[in-house]
Structure 1
Amino acid sequence: MKRILSIYLDSFKGLSQAAWLLAIVMLINRMGSMVIPFLGLYMTQVLHFDIKQVGVVLMSYGFGSVCGSYIGGWLTDRIGSFKVQFGSLVLAAPLFLLIPHFKEVQSLSIMIFTLSLIFDAFRPANSVSVASYAKPENITRAFSLNRLAINLGFSIGPAVAGFLATISFNWIFYGNSFAVLCAAVIFFVFFHKREKRSDIKSKKEIIPENELPQKRRNPYTDLPFVLFNIFCCIFSFCFFQLITTLPLFYREVHHLNDHQIGFLLGWSGFVIVLLEMFIVHIAEKRFSLISTLVFGTFLCASSYAMLNFTGGLGWLYFTFFIFGLGEMLTLPFMATVSVNRSTPKTQGAYMGFNSLAFSAANIFSPLLGTSIVDSFGFKTLWWATALTLSATAIGFYLVLKWMK
């Protein structure tokens, strides 16, 4: 037991002060994660949209996320990550307050697109900051610490949102706006005068010491990286069922109330908060990046397949636990691949492309997911998702072998 505790504590050692400060900002920001997990329920219960209309609005979120990821990465390489992150937070806060005033499919879609574009410009800039402030040997753990903050916030946000939704769904928009504004203020205080590390290097597990020719340092012409991001997109296509169709599944099939759904969505984040740094620390030392990504993807596939087996509330919590383990072994290491593949002058573009891969899934994931449910039911959706993730695991294995 002492040995395990020692390893667990070691996983937090060596991280820079800036990495911890970035995590604090991210924690406050994600404690306001109330709108997106409950957006589908808001549209069906308050606005009385049918499931296809819900898919259309959520698809607009995906389009905005794609544009935001690209623009955020492009701007980061030109004006710096601080300005992009601060601007994103400041502009997003009032948009959350405006959304409840738009109640038609078309107008709400435009607002969600705008919000997503501005809010997701934050992501590639934040990833560049994490890599820039991290010590070279701790990049993956720095990303894990940032994700720990995200998931701790996400474990709190939906639980609070479930409570606020019983009062009025409008309160989840107010809460989200307040959290984003607080994050903007604290981010400015912490980082407006803080300098980054001047020499950014990383362990070259994915590429050899002699870097790729400079002409290939564009992420959009780096063929192995393009294929890697295609598989990241497919992975996230399945991953985002977590916040689109899964809450509807809990409501319609298992008849859970808002409180139960909120706590269940927060459970995965709570597991990740407890275990991710420990598991990433072990994975970095004991396993290759390739085997970690492949195994984590298979775990996510298994969790979706498990949803088709009967069980009570405890079974749903267990499936989410398995999904959380898979998430811990995939997402931090995907970011590490992107950082290691880039050069200091193209980090924004590389991280932006990787963020874009996740954002692109948001375009069709909600619409296709809800359409499959509408036509064939949840059981078909979960089997299809599990099979797709299994194929993605094989794809990761092949493309990372090629990179290495």
Structure 2
Amino acid sequence: MIQALRGTRDILPEEIGYWQLIEDTVREILGRAVYQEIRAPIFEQTALFERGIGEATDVVGKEMYTFNSKGGNKSITLRPEGTAGVVRAYIENKLHAQGGVQRLWYTGPMFRYERPQAGRQRQFHQVGLELLGCAAPRGDAEVIALAIDILQALGLKDLKLDINSVGNQEDRTKYRQVLVDYLEPYKNDLDEDSKDRLTRSPLRILDSKDTKTQEIAQNAPKIIDSLSPESKKHFDIVLQLLTDLNIEYQINHCLVRGLDYYTHTAFEIKSNDLGAQATVCGGGRYDGLVKELGGPETQAVGWAIGMERLVILLQKLSSNPINTPDLYLVSRGEAAEAQSLLLAQQLRQTGLAVELDLSGSAFGKQFKRGNRSGAVACLVLGDAEAENNTVNLKWLASGEQQAIAQKDLLAMTEELKTKIIKLKGFD
């Protein structure tokens, strides 16, 4: 039997409703903020990620799925993240020539060679947002506020915003030496990855998950003390704007994010309901990336939300089933089965979700499937109902039932919707 590859998984019908809920919520909230969806290819030239993400990062060095084109003249990589591809599209299609800012968002699969675990697969999915052409601290605050809006609209309440500033290139160069000077005496106590990073990417040591390294990093000099007055002012304004928006935050001096393109603001939004895999959204400012990839100097800020982790969280928090029918229609007998298809279609056209039992089996078996379906009511059509053009409406929770003319049922669909919403607990 051929099975799915390790690190990939099927998203089955009982789960897909959560994915659709996230996508619909993102589309609605970002649409109100006039962000436009963009769809870039899932594979790009490898050089895009080497230049954009940074060759010294773990993503480029260890985790990318890279292969040669059939002609052998191009190195191609399945995208490990979304920002670089969006920036490439922004440059190639000259979106910057339209003037002003570009508000873009995307969703889709990404690929990294990692050890699979709950909420982290080798093929994983993100929804992301990019605000290009905005240098103002207001841009940072806007994208953070929109991420909070999305997560809260999905029902998440126990959220924590960690934020830091990694400054500009000059700030980081200054801080790099300060950090290396501090870490050198502890070199033998660092984990193996951090020992390697000490010479090529020392800021990443602050992001280590090793307990001993974390203890050492907690007492390291803070990057905020190496910021220029301009960088410090930018960060202070962002914090004040978040306060104005009633968004609580805490400054995390070890937060640097994992990609080389970040500048100034870096942030993560975490949920205390996810245990060790707490981060559901991460992002920040990347003012040098567009120029690095061949475009004009363009300031930008964005974020990405991991879909798998968010789905796990929604499943934990949800008390209501997703994508269940409103009504389950059972029928038996030639005339009744013909009428049931017509009635189901008529009800669906009014906006009701109707599952039609197509088995033709005994009523008892159909009722059992109706009870398992998540519907709040069953519609029953037998020979007698078919002859009289009626239908039996049975509310499953209470057992209450009534015979009603099919034309009267179609005339009371708005009343039905109101009652169904209340019974499903969505009012």
TM-score, normalization by structure 2: 0.22
| Structure of greater Rg | 2
Indicate the structure with greater strand content: 2
Question: Does 1 or 2 have the higher relative contact order (CA < 8 Å, sep 6+)?
Answer: 1
TM-score, normalization by structure 1: 0.23
Indicate the structure with greater helix content: 1
